[in-house]
């Protein structure tokens, strides 16, 4: 005798439905936790349970369909399941939408935090005078967040502060260079210029600084030559020799050769002048003055004939100077 078909769904089918409901509840709880602290573990477990429950439900329905031979009874069986599946679909859509909303909310929040952090980083680079690093961060705030006007304002501020800082340093070093030039310390001036060039190679004033120093040096050299020629023309022997001592530091070998004849004449005039002063001092019995002039002749013109003659008289002159004698002395 054929057994009647039961109108109730099999117990395994109900177990699958209950498991599905539990899995959905677990997934919903996981969404709440994911929004609060970002931990996806519980949500993942709920999602996996939902998938497994759906698989089990499918198997249960397949078994139930095989056990049902009457279409009306099968319809009665499947209608509650369809209703529950539709309810599950609605819940899953709600969970998915909440998740999308949550992700958008977090993205907006993180975007604001990232932008503010980038602004603080730009300020920090400006305070540290790291202009290149600050400009790179400004490029990022424009490229990533699209804030072009804000980036332009940052760039203008960076350029203004950088130019002011450069001008301050350059002015301080220029004052040092000017001091070296006025003291004729040209080597120190060139070293300062090279150091400044290494710091600000693109600055227009700094880039021509070496040439400016050389121009000042050449101008000073020309002034020395003009003064020396003027002294020579006026027969100012002592003045021309003092100027020549300075000028000698600036002359090239070729220039020195060109002035050689004039220089020799100046020193001949100097020796002649010393000789005249020496003779006059002896004649006037100014023994101390004669000793001083004789020592100058020997020191400045050691190889001259006059120096040889003066050496022969120096001992007697020193003796007379020590005694303070007044009798005339033949020279």
- What pLDDT does residue 64 have? 61
Is residue 313's pLDDT more than 80? Answer: yes
As a whole number of angstroms, the distance between CA 103 and CA 4 comes to 54
* CA angle at 326 for the pair 324 and 328, rounded to the nearest 5°: 135
Q: pLDDT-based confidence at 175, cuts 50/70/90?
A: very high
Domain boundaries, the chain: 1-106, 123-182, 261-331
- What pLDDT does residue 63 have? 62
Question: What integer is the mean pLDDT of 13-17?
Answer: 66
As a whole number of angstroms, the distance between CA 311 and CA 330 comes to 15
Tell whether pTM > 0.85. Answer: no
As a whole number of angstroms, the distance between CA 164 and CA 157 comes to 11
Question: What integer is the mean pLDDT of 205-211?
Answer: 91
Q: Dihedral, CA atoms, 315, 316, 318, 323, nearest 10 degrees? A: 140
Percent of the chain with pLDDT over 90: 17
Is residue 17's pLDDT more than 50? Answer: yes
- The DSSP code for 7 is S
Percent of the chain with pLDDT over 70: 65
Query: Among 26, 89, 33, which Cα is nearest to 57's?
Result: 89
Per residue in 285-306, pLDDT tens?
Answer: 899 998 999 998 898 888 889 8
- What pLDDT does residue 255 have? 87
- What pLDDT does residue 220 have? 94
- HEC string of 235-275 equals CCHHHHHHHHHHHCCCCCHHHHHHCHHHHHHHHHHHHHHHH
Is residue 176's pLDDT more than 60? Answer: yes
- What pLDDT does residue 12 have? 59
* CA angle at 94 for the pair 89 and 95, rounded to the nearest 5°: 95
Query: Among 95, 65, 80, which Cα is nearest to 5's?
Result: 65
Per residue in 34-63, pLDDT tens?
Answer: 566 655 666 666 666 677 666 666 676 666
Place of tokens 């540290």: 128
As a whole number of angstroms, the distance between CA 120 and CA 93 comes to 41
Q: pLDDT-based confidence at 114, cuts 50/70/90?
A: confident
Per residue in 95-111, pLDDT tens?
Answer: 555 555 444 444 444 56
Quote the tokens at residue 246. 């300075």
Cα distances from 55 to residues 16, 52, 62, 76, in angstroms, run 9, 5, 11, 21
């Amino acid at each position: 005798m054929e057994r009647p078909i039961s109108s109730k769904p099999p117990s395994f089918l109900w177990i699958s439905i209950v498991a599905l409901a539990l899995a959905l509840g677990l997934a919903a709880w996981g969404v709440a936790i994911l929004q609060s602290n970002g931990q996806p573990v519980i949500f993942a477990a709920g999602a996996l349970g939902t998938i497994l429950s759906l698989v089990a439900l499918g198997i249960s329905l397949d078994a139930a369909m095989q056990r049902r031979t009457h279409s009306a009874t099968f319809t009665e069986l499947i209608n509650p399941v369809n209703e529950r599946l539709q309810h599950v679909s609605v819940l899953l859509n709600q969970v998915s939408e909440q998740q999308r909303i949550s992700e958008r909310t977090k993205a907006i929040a993180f975007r604001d935090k990232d932008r503010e952090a980038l602004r603080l980083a730009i300020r920090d680079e400006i305070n540290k005078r790291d202009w290149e690093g600050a400009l790179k961060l400004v490029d990022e705030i424009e490229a990533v967040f699209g804030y072009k006007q804000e980036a332009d304002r940052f760039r203008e501020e960076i350029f203004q502060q950088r130019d002011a800082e450069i001008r301050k340093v350059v002015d301080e070093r220029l004052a040092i260079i000017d001091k070296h030039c006025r003291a004729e310390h040209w080597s120190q001036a060139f070293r300062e210029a090279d150091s400044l060039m290494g710091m600000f190679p693109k600055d227009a004033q700094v880039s021509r600084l070496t040439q400016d120093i050389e121009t000042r040096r050449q101008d000073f050299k020309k002034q020395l030559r003009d003064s020396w020629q003027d002294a020579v023309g006026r027969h100012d022997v002592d003045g021309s020799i003092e100027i020549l001592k300075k000028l000698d530091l600036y002359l090239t070998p070729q220039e020195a050769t060109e002035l050689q004849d004039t220089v020799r004449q100046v020193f001949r005039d100097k020796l002649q002048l010393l000789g005249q002063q020496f003779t006059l001092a002896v004649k006037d019995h100014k023994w101390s003055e004669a000793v001083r002039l004789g020592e100058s002749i020997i020191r400045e013109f050691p190889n001259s004939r006059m120096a040889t003659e003066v050496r022969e008289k120096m001992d007697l002159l020193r003796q007379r100077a020590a005694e303070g004698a007044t009798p005339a002395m033949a020279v």
